[in-house]
Structure 1
Amino acid sequence: MSNETIPARSGEFDGRVLDELYATIESRRGDDPRESRTARLFAKGEKKIAQKVGEEAVETVIEGVAGKPGALIEESADLLYHLLVLWAARGVTPGEVWAALAARRGISGIAAKAARKSSPD
């Protein structure tokens, strides 16, 4: 993949939507769990949030092999939402993840994985 921006199919999406969603998720942290799904997840704690990420990942995989593009898109959106909630709960920002992805640009996936395995943390 080159360093050029890959255009999205939708003319509206430019990538910032994930940063905006993260900001919305953070703003829901102190809301009433009876009125906000995000606040309810925060109230249940990191383990429950991580469990939801796992559930959504499995559902995404199922739709990925079932050949239903619409369902795959919806499950992917659910997965990304829950992943962003987990990041927020753990104090990880999208910028940190984007930086990790940027650092891998131009590096073979095999080399990147080997470097992570030899990392002390």
Structure 2
Amino acid sequence: MSFTLADLDARVATRSAAVPSESYTAKLLQSGIERCAKKFGEESAELLIAAAIRDHKGTTAEAADVLYHLLVLLRASDVPLDEVMAELERRTAQTGLEEKASRQPGTGV
């Protein structure tokens, strides 16, 4: 399979420029960041439930929804996917435990 997160991000970008009555993505973005964040939260909760009950098909479908809604939320927040990927790349230069220890105490950052 060759469909990537970057491909999905490009599709979200294209659809965000459409007329909201013709594009769910454009409609979400027009509704504002709060609505985009709420949808991401809802989809995340659905993913957690599907995973907890070991529903493979549901987990797959909900994970796809989470990725889509994450990209919409990033777009609403003016955070390019490239910046997120660069942050992930930076973090992989060390172990997860080292990276977590390097964060400022109590901030999660």
TM-score normalised by the shorter chain: which range applies?
0.7 to 0.9
Shift of residue 97, structure 1, vs aligned partner:
1.0
Mapped partners of 1:58, 1:110: distance in 2: 26
The residue number in structure 2 matching 1:32 is 19
Q: Which has the higher contact order (CA 8 A, sep 6+)?
A: 1
Q: Secondary structure at the match of 1:28?
A: helix
User: What is the percent sequence identity of the aligned residues?
Assistant: 36
Q: What are the ranges of 5 or more consecutive residues in structure 1 without an aligned counterpart?
A: 1-11
Instruction: Report the Cα distance in structure 2 between the residues aligned to 1:41 and 1:115, rounded to whole angstroms.
Output: 36
Query: Runs (4+) of structure 1 moved beyond 6 Å?
Result: none
What letter is aligned with 1:19? Answer: A
What residue in structure 2 maps to residue 72 of structure 1? 59
- CA drift of 1:52 comes to 0.7
1:52 corresponds to: 39
In 2, Cα distance between the equivalents of 1:45 and 1:117?
A: 31
Higher alpha-carbon deviation: 67-76 or 88-97: 88-97
Structure 2 stretches lacking a partner, 5+ long: none
Compute the displacement of 1:24 (Å): 1.4
Per-residue deviation, 1:48: 0.5
**C-alpha deviations, 1:60-97, integer Å up to 9, x for none?**
00011111111100000000000000111112122111
Q: How many residues end up aligned between the 2 structures?
A: 107
Q: Secondary structure at the match of 1:111?
A: helix
